Amino acid sequence: DQQVKQNSPSLSVQEGRISILNCDYTNSMFDYFLWYKKYPAEGPTFLISISSIKDKNEDGRFTVFLNKSAKHLSLHIVPSQPGDSAVYFCAASVGGNNRLAFGKGNQVVVIP
């Protein structure tokens, strides 16, 4: 059963515009959420995270929003840059520092 879901598998965005990636989860026990970026032939790279006690976390161009009542989180990248072209995975865990449940990923293409 897919506990973390990422719809809209691919996204194309113009350089300088905002990229918005969405993620939904079904397990109400999840209390820590992470976003990873993955380039081909490399392992996932940690991007940003958020604890369930917060509803927003910002790090430079990346902001993650968490809506616990809707079991939904989103990643905003602004402004988008060509180097952001990659697959983005949403992940969640129970209790932090524990096994991660991943979504299927979103392919982002930033057009120069």
Partner 1 sequence: DTGVSQDPRHKITKRGQNVTFRCDPISEHNRLYWYRQTLGQGPEFLTYFQNEAQLEKSRLLSDRFSAERPKGSFSTLEIQRTEQGDSAMYLCASVMALYNEQFFGPGTRLTVL
Binding site for partner 1 (CB under 8 A): 4, 6, 32, 34, 36, 41-46, 49, 89, 91, 93, 96-97, 99-105
DSSP 8-state secondary structure symbol assigned to residue 16: T
Q: How far is the CB of 17 from partner 1 (least distance, A)?
A: 26
Number of Cβ within 10 Å of residue 103's Cβ equals: 22
Nearer to partner 1 by Cβ, of 17 and 56: the residue is 56
Q: How many Å apart are CA 45 and CA 111, to the nearest integer?
A: 22
Closer to partner 1 by Cβ: residue 17 or 104: 104
- Gap between the Cα atoms of 50 and 44, Å rounded: 17
User: Looking at beta carbons only, is 14 or 26 nearer to partner 1?
Assistant: 26
